[in-house]
Structure 1
Amino acid sequence: MPSDHSVGAGPVFWGRVLLDWDLVAADPGGAELLLPWLERLVALPTVSGNLAASEEGLDLIGEFLAERGMRIRRFDQDGFGALVATVHPTMTPTVMLTAHLDVVPGPEHLFTLKRDGDRLIGRGVFDMKGAIAAYLALIDQLAPELHRYDLGVMITTDEETRDLGVKLLLQEEGYRARVAVLPDGGDNWQLEEVAKGAWRVRVSTYGVAVHGSRPWTGESASLKLLDLLTDIRRRFPVEEPHVDTLNISFLRAGTAPNQLPDQAEAVLDVRVMGPEELAAVERDVAEICRRHGADLELLVLFPPVKHDLADPLLAEFARSVERVTGVACGGCLSFGSSDAAQFASVGVPCAVTRPRGGGHHGDDEWVDAGSLAQLVPVLRDFVCRVATHE
């Protein structure tokens, strides 16, 4: 990456894309400003658990922000890296721009940014490397007078797996903000009003290993697991947007094809509408496991979240969206969960919305180029209105 960069210094090569500052000046909110950063970030295989790639990404982001005058702190969270950058020496900036750098696995071709008409395609363009690229573009625009703003950037690398990064930064390091911005929910510039909670657990069954030709002399943990999962599946009879839902993943059993497994396990990813529904799911699944003699282990909990969109800062963010995009910014339900739950737990309001896109966690993840480009002026309008440093 360039080591001596300033706005107006002429064309700069970033990855394989030419960034022309004359073009940027003519279209300060355009996708041309985002593409070089987004291309570089997408190319990094920051799949959850690839710690080396994640550290490289944090190095890239930290160096870029430091060159523009931000103060950088790095954290090692049991091997997972995290970064917090602030304009001023504070643990409580007015606005904290938050994102995660880690992504879910995908085919190799998704780690090369492609453009198909209005769509940018690649792993993380929607969840959440597009947001990080927008943050970098914003800081680049504000750099000449960055000291005027009370602003922070928080990046973690474990959200897609254990999701402790933001929690540790808030609860152990003591970071806070008057408002957090998290483009990891909502839909086409609608502000998240309610987000389903995520209850992720491991269920395990046990048996007696014997030769596969004599199953009557042993006990199959895998068959016991199938019976258990059948009963749990009956607890979630409908798959619709506004009800609790179940996903079963990571089924594991056995070490040899001709041996009854003595242990089997599966991970349940349950999405719940509210606190009462969460309590009911916890109770019911625990009872089913008890009846089957199975173990139940909590892996991750994202509590359901309800945002007060009448909060003055969230209302101001909605107005920034409307001024820039022309879209009436109302409330919506997010089916997925995010680190907004961590901010809610410490009383920090969180503006959760994002540009038009889709396919996250799938093989066709995409974001609309023009809509993503609007994220930069939306953020700039909001920061300039609420985060001017006295």
Structure 2
Amino acid sequence: MPPVDAWVQQAAAGIAERAERDLEALVAVSSPSGDVHGAEDCVAVVRALVPPAAAIERIPCSSPGHADDVVVRIAGSGSGRLLLLGHLDTVVPHERHEPLRRDGERLVGSGTVDMKGGDVLALGLLRALAEQPQRFAEVALLLVVDEEWRTGPMVHVDRFAGWDGCLCFEAGELAPDGSDAVIVRRKAAGTLRVRARGVAAHAGSAPHKGRNALLALAAAAQAVAAAHAPDGHDRLTSVPTMLHSGDAFNVVPDAGELACDLRSDRTAAFEEVRALVPRELAGVELDAELTRVWPAMDARAATAPLLASAAELLGRPLVAAGRGGASDASHVAPAIPFTVDGLGPRGGRAHAPGEFVLAAALHSRAEVAVALAAAVLDAAGATV
């Protein structure tokens, strides 16, 4: 393959040079989803990292009770419109927050891989593009504050419908052969909640007078788990994840709630799982409801030609891959057919203590992001 394109090489080097410092500033802020003050502090850091030419707009979040999301826009003199996408919220509560520290080749800290490391690369790409205004008509960076907790639709999609490309900066990965990979396919994601209403009774002297909500929910969990078929046609994963029932050790529990995580290539499969939960079991009423349904994403056909163009600019292979986890890219893909995810740095332990990104991946994934941006905008300019 040809050598790395000169601008890709130069821009990526500039992004990587300051990425660790920018990541330290962003990870220093504890920003669990739903925390307004944490979100606002993150936005203040973002304001300090955007290029001077940027216009910053705050727009209402998709989820009530959250801080406003932020859109950073740069106008250019060329053709093509490119959306960069990320989120500022984490799942880590304040008391478990870890500021950034280096551990060998790992940059360890809360939210580093999901997804403040990606946010830093998106901000770096925005600055690099700001120095090349002839390449585009408009570039926008959308950073939301509710990705981890959102249950409803993403309300911003129509705002960017018809744009030439969307690059989402969730964590990066390698293909089995060691090549850089990007995400062009994701499963749909669903959350199933089952609420139980039984009858309380003394567990020692009169258990026969009760209707045990805990046992009914346990049976419902078994029914949901029986649908689990990751190797089946829909690649369905159906996993009970939380069960809460009972307030005292000596009382038959009269209420409770079960939560289940569902992933599939078809959103309709979630309704099929919900239908497996009976409405009544041993005198306990069960109410099963899908409280979150995120769409699937399959951009393989739409992205293939430009992935090939980006690989030429990179001077190395770029592999289209899939992932089971949910992402805002899935919401955007129907409105912007060229949507590619997984442009953040590689790392691990997302949502867990010791979450990290690999320091070296800040440079390699910056190259991937710059090459994809160039491929999208070059193609858009060629069609004018």
Query: Structure 1 length normalisation: TM-score?
Result: 0.80
CA distance, structure 2, for counterparts of residue 164 and residue 64 of structure 1: 30
Q: Which residue of 2 aligns with 1:184?
A: 170
Q: Contact 1:134 / 1:373 at 8 angstroms: preserved in 2?
A: no
For residue 207 of structure 1, the aligned residue among 175, 198, 201 is 198
Please say if 1:36 is aligned against 2:14.
Answer: no
Moved more, 233-242 or 217-226: 233-242
Aligned length: 355
Q: Which residue of 2 aligns with 1:12?
A: none
Which stretches of structure 1, 4 residues or longer, exceed 6 Å deviation after superposition? 237-242
SS of the equivalent of 2:156 reads: helix
SS of the equivalent of 1:190 reads: strand
For residue 334 of structure 1, the aligned residue among 323, 330, 334 is 323
Shift of 1:242: 8.6
Please say if 1:72 is aligned against 2:60.
Answer: no
SS of the equivalent of 1:298 reads: strand
SS of the equivalent of 2:228 reads: coil
SS of the equivalent of 1:337 reads: coil
For residue 128 of structure 1, the aligned residue among 88, 101, 115 is 115
SS of the equivalent of 2:190 reads: strand
The structure-2 alpha-carbon separation of the partners of 1:331 and 1:115, relative to structure 1 and needing over 3 Å to count, comes to same
For residue 36 of structure 2, the aligned residue among 37, 48, 51 is 51
Q: Contact 1:302 / 1:337 at 8 angstroms: preserved in 2?
A: yes
Superposed, 1:110-259 pairs within 5 Å as: 111-146=98-133, 149=136, 150-162=138-150, 164=152, 167-171=154-158, 173=159, 177-184=163-170, 187-188=173-174, 189-213=180-204, 214-236=206-228, 243-259=235-251
Shift of 1:35: 1.1
CA distance, structure 1, for counterparts of residue 114 and residue 198 of structure 2: 40
CA distance, structure 1, for counterparts of residue 270 and residue 375 of structure 2: 43
For residue 99 of structure 1, the aligned residue among 59, 75, 86 is 86
Higher relative contact order (CA 8 A, sep 6+): 2
Shift of 1:207: 0.5
Q: Which residue of 1 aligns with 2:362?
A: 372
The structure-2 alpha-carbon separation of the partners of 1:377 and 1:254, relative to structure 1 and needing over 3 Å to count, comes to same
CA distance, structure 2, for counterparts of residue 59 and residue 210 of structure 1: 54
Q: Which residue of 2 aligns with 1:283?
A: 272
What fraction of aligned residue pairs are identical, expressed as a percent?
27
Shift of 1:29: 3.9
CA distance, structure 2, for counterparts of residue 281 and residue 208 of structure 1: 29
Shift of 1:243: 3.2
For residue 315 of structure 1, the aligned residue among 283, 305, 309 is 305
Alignment RMSD, CA only?
3.2
Q: Which residue of 2 aligns with 1:266?
A: 258
Deviation readout 1:204-237 (Å, 9 max, x if unpaired): 1110122333322221211211121122222226
The structure-2 alpha-carbon separation of the partners of 1:176 and 1:163, relative to structure 1 and needing over 3 Å to count, comes to farther
Q: Contact 2:25 / 2:45 at 8 angstroms: preserved in 1?
A: no
- The residue identity in structure 2 corresponding to 1:256 is A
Q: Contact 1:139 / 1:146 at 8 angstroms: preserved in 2?
A: no
Q: Which residue of 2 aligns with 1:358?
A: 348
CA distance, structure 2, for counterparts of residue 158 and residue 93 of structure 1: 28
- The residue identity in structure 2 corresponding to 1:119 is R
Q: Contact 1:186 / 1:333 at 8 angstroms: preserved in 2?
A: no
SS of the equivalent of 1:361 reads: coil
- The residue identity in structure 1 corresponding to 2:53 is G
SS of the equivalent of 1:111 reads: coil
Shift of 1:54: 1.0
Shift of 1:327: 4.3
Shift of 1:296: 1.4
Deviation readout 1:274-324 (Å, 9 max, x if unpaired): 22xx4244224323233544111222112222113454xx63345435644
Gaps of 5+ in 1: 1-24
Deviation readout 1:233-274 (Å, 9 max, x if unpaired): 2222668999321232232223334333221101111111x2
